[in-house]
Structure 1
Amino acid sequence: MSSVMDISPHIALLTSSGMGHLTPILRLAAMLASQNCHVTLLTAQPPVSNAESEHIIAFLAAYPTINRLDFQLLPYTPPNPETADPFFVQFEAIIRSVHLLPPLLSSISPPVSAFFSDITSAAGGHQVANDLGVPNYVISTTSARFSCFVSYVPYLLASESSIPVAETSIQIPGLDPFDHSNLPPPFFIPNHLFTKTLVSNSRALSKSKGILLNTFHDFEPKTIEAVNNGKFIQDFPRFLAIGPLEPHKLEIGDHQTLPWLDKQPTRSVVYVSFGSRTAMSKDQITELRNGLEKSGQKFLWVLKTKIVDKEDSEELGELVTGSFLERTKAQGMVVKGWVNQEVILSHPAVGGFVSHCGWNSVMEAAARGIPMLAWPLLGDQRVNAEVVESAGLGIWEKSWGWLGARLVKSEKIAEKVTMLMGDENVREKARKIGEMAKNAIQVGGSSHKVLIEIIQNL
């Protein structure tokens, strides 16, 4: 009789570019390994940021049973290298290099039984899986709602360059309309690299076995049911909600914040962070600094000024002034660099989260029942903020627009931070979402059932 290990599937996962894409793939890899799956992690070299390199090294040290397979990306120079986003450039470089993977994967043992690819490399992932003769699953690193929009883009295009601007909103079958103002501006720019990459990949989504989502049914029920009940696109693959993806056991990040947090009262601190690649202008940093001070709320602020961490060299005192740090040392703390956000959001002193609404951040807050103040920067984040508000996880001031589009003054920031931390109704809704998230990933919960079904099917 065969052992469990003999019949366990061997799943190859292709990582993408940026921590927002890498983090959920690493968490999924850890979850699959915990279910006795053989896992091979495919890492494109070289990565864009130091954070990616450090996390991959630490992850593999923590999970020695997971195999690493590096592949060197082919050189790629975008049409406008001076202005191109380095992460978008990496997306394209990965797509142009995935044909190198079948020879690498065909020689490893046990044979690969499934290929999981990030949504930014879905087209290449489908081809790799097809060459290997195995099923392809796509890992979407955004909300179910934005995943639907991306999937429907080919149906909207009048040409292959951009989405036509005709009405103030876009209607998609089975879903509430999408407001134009919530969609990424690059979608409306002809030949933008971001748009071209997503369009080429969205055409391949319908060929996948299923689309894995870091969300849970009770957080986005209407969207998930619309897709899985055939109200969206006919014969479209199922949305497989397996979130919130559980944190992995890594000791990475700045732990100097925790002794300070340990001294603060329960639910008294607002955590402020705009993700791993947010570049905030110095004028907006000044207004945010003043707004936090005016709010009177205790705060823990993680500050970043460059898209790529290798280039972020300015000292903290230069950014917020030494006098501010001295003046507010009893009220708050400012940190520059990578922090372990999961640990911070799990701390009993944290009672609110000012966030760009990157999807990993949304799910980390939802899993812990922490209410959010949404301040989107780019990409999927305004649609994600809409989901946060609709689900009841937090508040969103739409008039602020995209972060960087206008200078939001300190008085408005102080007003919204105070509302976030003082509204008991918002806190109670967030607490209930936290309970639903815990139930989803427990044995027998909706997300746990979907994960086990995927493994059993393989």
Structure 2
Amino acid sequence: MAETHDGAPHVLVIPFPAQGHMLPLLDLAHLLARRGVAVTVAVSSGNLPLLSPLLSKSPSIQPLSLPLSPLPPPGPRERQGHGPDLLRHPDPRPRLSPRPAPLLGPGPPEARLRRRLRHLRGLGPAPRRRARRPWLRLLPLRRPRHRRDPLPLPAHAQEARGRGEGEGEGEDYLVPFPSIPNSPSYPLPKLSRLFRSYKEGDPLSESVRRNFLWNLESHGFVANSFEALEAAYLERPLDDLARKRVWAVGPLAAAAAEVGGAGAADDRGGPSSVPAAEVSAWLDRFPEGSVVYVCFGSLAVLTPAQAAAAAAALERSGAAFVWAARGGTAVPEGFEERVGGRGLVLRGWAPQVAILAHAAVGWFVTHCGWNSLVEAAAAGVAMLTWPMTADQHVNARLLVEEAGVALPACDGGLAAVPDPHELARTLAEAVRGEKGRAVRDRAKELGRKAVEAVRGGGSSYIALEEFIQELHNLNTK
């Protein structure tokens, strides 16, 4: 963060370069700009078009195009949960200093970033890390929930892994987190691969661990969340955050929409394979809450077996649906003809916020990526959880067991293939059964609370004002 010529804070935003990860940060950038904060958004040249709606609504925001390497295409790496693959590059930081120089200080932040990149270029290949650099003091969209022992795993979990537990017959070994509200326990295979693959002394593992610990040294944390969803975790700052301030300012898409968002719901994230107006017209044919939306995020790709099981379940359930089959998902041949007029398959990017906002959509089959579930919560749409990797199992538990706004659809992880008959029954019960109706009622109530949170006087509205005041306070120190 820096200071402009008129004394206003100047914030540099560096989003992870994937559409689903970028959009919430662009919403936050829009909200900051609306409140007089100067914002520069650093993106790869390939993602620069995603900024067009934001720049048209917020001309004070400046883009900074960087020659970043593209992400690997969706496919086997994502299927295997290889988030760490993005990190398999020489890490120049040990040759710098015990702690990298921060991007704080005098001068425009984009100039300091360019200097930093030139410096790293002289030291060797820059690591392809998530853009949440450890020397950023204000860490955007870092959710603090369930982060007691970031790396390594708790000692008892390490011992279990050493005995072979957590795989095969020991896969139900539970790892407790007693210091977190509600004291959750998770089967070892359902914790993030980053946690489970840690090896003391391994360069990659230690690099990831340092990144976690440096992140925890940030001045504060901004979360795309809201009190009605995560009150227990927001009311009591966690010890591993050193009781630092957490500003829950979400749902960011809803907050941005309240002030004339960074992009209309139908052009959010870029053009859809089917125009949003056509999707909306198709949905208009169905009763309220009767349509199931199916989407697994912007990176994950279903295996052929998983896609076949999902298609068979949708066909047998009799439910109307919209399926966003992205990135090479193998939709079975003849499936679209067999489901006739009750199914719509979208290939490529889908106008997710617009779909979730349509009254006909009552359910969302989701991988439980955080941004997707927050968008669904804001829309008052119930969810059917199909977590695969990363934090998704943790998120699914929050939705099903704590918030009560979801039903489990598939819970086995990256390679799990649901039984199509069981999944069809789950879909039918969700859309037409009493249990599904009760879950939908809770989801709609959560949606009302989400909208209230981002309006004047709401918890997220107040948190955003306090966050911006903190930016001004930091600017004067």
TM-score > 0.5, shorter chain as reference? yes
Q: 1:69 to 1:54 in 2, by over 3 A?
A: closer
Match of 1:270 in 2: 292
Cα distance 1:234–1:296, how it changes in 2: closer, same or farther (>3 A)?
A: closer
Q: For residues 293-332 of structure 1, what are the structure 2 equivalents within 5 Å?
A: 293-304=315-326, 306=327, 312=328, 319-321=331-333, 323-332=334-343
CA distance in 2, matches of 1:245, 1:76: 24
Is the CA contact 1:261–1:349 (under 8 Å) kept in the aligned structure 2? yes
Tell me the amino acid that sits aligned with residue 320 of structure 2: K
Counterpart check, 1:67 vs 2:62: yes
Distance (Å, rounded) in 2 between the aligned partners of 1:364 and 1:76 = 24
Matched residue, 1:138: 139
The CA distance in 2 between the partners of 1:7 and 1:443, in whole Å, is 26
Distance 1:54 1:391, change over 3 A: same
Provide the rounded CA distance (Å) in 2 between the counterparts of 1:337 and 1:393: 28
Identity of aligned residues (%): 27
Contact 1:393 1:426 in 2 (8 A): yes
Preserved CA contact (<8 Å) 1:13 1:40: yes
Q: Which residue matches 1:445?
A: 458
**Residue 249 (1) aligns with residue 263 (2):** yes
Counterpart amino acid of 2:59?
Answer: P
Residues 1:189 and 2:211 are matched in the alignment: no
**1:392: which partner in 2?**
404
Do the aligned partners of 1:169 and 1:178 also contact (CA within 8 Å) in 2?
yes
Aligned to 2:378: 367
| 2:445 alignment partner in structure 1 | 432
Task: Give the Å deviation of 1:198.
Answer: 4.2
1:19 — aligned with what? Answer: 19
Question: Which piece of structure 1 moves more, 188-197 or 380-389?
Answer: 188-197
Task: Look up the SS of the partner of 1:153 in the other structure.
Answer: coil
Deviation at 1:264, TM superposition (A): 2.0
Check whether the contact 1:216–1:242 (CA below 8 A) recurs between aligned residues. yes
CA contact (8 A) 1:206 1:236 kept: no
Give the 3-state SS of the residue equivalent to 1:145 in structure 2.
Answer: coil
Contact 2:15 2:131 in 1 (8 A): no
Deviations 1:243-274 (A, max 9, x none): 11125324233224222112222211110111
The partner residue of 1:351 within 357, 362, 365 is 362
Letter in 2 for 1:303: A
Judge conservation of contact 1:206–1:237 (CA < 8 Å) in 2.
no
Contact 1:226 1:232 in 2 (8 A): no
| Aligned twin of 1:124 | 134
What secondary structure sits across from 1:372 in the alignment?
strand
Question: Equivalents in 1 of 2:396, 2:454: separation in Å?
Answer: 23
CA distance in 2, matches of 1:294, 1:447: 42
Tell me, yes or no, if the aligned pair for 1:40 and 1:66 is still in contact at 8 Å: yes
Counterpart amino acid of residue 139 in structure 2? V
Residue in 1 aligned with 2:119? none
User: C-alpha displacement at 1:447, in angstroms?
Assistant: 0.7
Task: Give 1:190 shift.
Answer: 4.2
Counterpart CA distance in 2 for 1:91 and 1:56 is: 26
Q: Distance in 1 between matches of 2:301 and 2:372?
A: 17
Tell whether the 8 Å contact from 1:74 to 1:96 is kept in structure 2 after alignment: no
Match of 1:210 among 201, 204, 220: 220
Equivalent runs, 1:108-123 vs 2, <5 Å: 120-123=130-133
Q: Which amino acid aligns with 1:203?
A: L
Tell me: CA distance 1:111–1:376, structure 2 relative to 1, closer, same or farther (3 Å). closer
Q: Which amino acid aligns with 1:439?
A: E
Q: Report the alpha carbon displacement of residue 384 of structure 1 after superposing the two structures with TM.
A: 0.6
Q: Which residue of 2 aligns with 1:225?
A: 235
CA 1:53/1:377 → structure 2, altered by over 3 Å: closer, same or farther? farther
Does the alignment pair 1:171 with 2:195? no
RMSD (Å), alpha carbons: 3.7
Are the counterparts in 1 of residues 28 and 252 from structure 2 also a CA contact under 8 Å?
yes
Partners of 1:121 and 1:201 within 8 A in 2: no
Matches within 5 A, 1:27-66: 27-43=27-43, 45=44, 52-66=47-61
Q: Hey, what's the Cα distance between the residues in 1 that align with 2:394 and 2:153?
A: 17
Shift of 1:108: 6.3
Separation in 2, partners of 1:17, 1:88: 16
Equivalenced residue count is 410
Secondary structure in 1 aligned to 2:134? helix
SS in 2 for 1:288: helix
CA–CA separation in structure 2 for the residues paired with 1:82 and 1:234:
31
Displacement after TM superposition at 1:333 (Å): 0.8
Q: Structure 2 CA distance, aligned partners of 1:234 and 1:319?
A: 44
Tell me the distance in 1 between the aligned counterparts of 2:53 and 2:344.
27
Contact 2:81 2:414 in 1 (8 A): no
Q: For residue 145 of structure 1, report the CA deviation from its aligned partner.
A: 2.2
Whole-angstrom distance in 1 between the partners of 2:287 and 2:211: 47
The answer to whether residue 269 in structure 2 is matched with residue 258 in structure 1 is no
Match of 2:301 in 1: 279
Identify the range of structure 1 (52-61 vs 190-199) with the bigger mean alpha-carbon deviation: 190-199
Contact 1:213 / 1:243 at 8 angstroms: preserved in 2?
Answer: yes
Match of 1:106 in 2: 107
Distance 1:234 1:358, change over 3 A: closer
- Residue by residue over 1:312-366, the C-alpha shift from the partner in whole angstroms, topping out at 9 and shown as x without a partner, is 4x8xxx7321x32122122111111101100110011111111001111110011
Match of 2:123 in 1: none
How far has the Cα of 1:24 moved from its partner? 1.5
Q: Which residue of 1 aligns with 2:467?
A: 454
Q: Which residue is equivalent to 1:131? A: none
**Structure 2 unaligned spans of 5+:** 114-128, 162-172, 257-261, 473-477
The alpha carbon displacement at 1:275 in A equals: 0.7
Which residue type is aligned with residue 16 of structure 1? F
What is the rounded CA distance, in whole Å, between the counterparts of 2:66 and 2:358 in structure 1?
38
After superposition, what is the alpha-carbon deviation per residue over 1:414-456, rounded to whole angstroms, capped at 9, x for unaligned?
A: 1111122232110111111011111111111111111101111
Q: Does the CA contact (< 8 Å) of 2:64 and 2:110 recur in 1?
A: no
Instruction: For residue 233 of structure 1, report the CA deviation from its aligned partner.
Output: 3.4
d(CA) in 1 for partners of 2:323, 2:241: 45
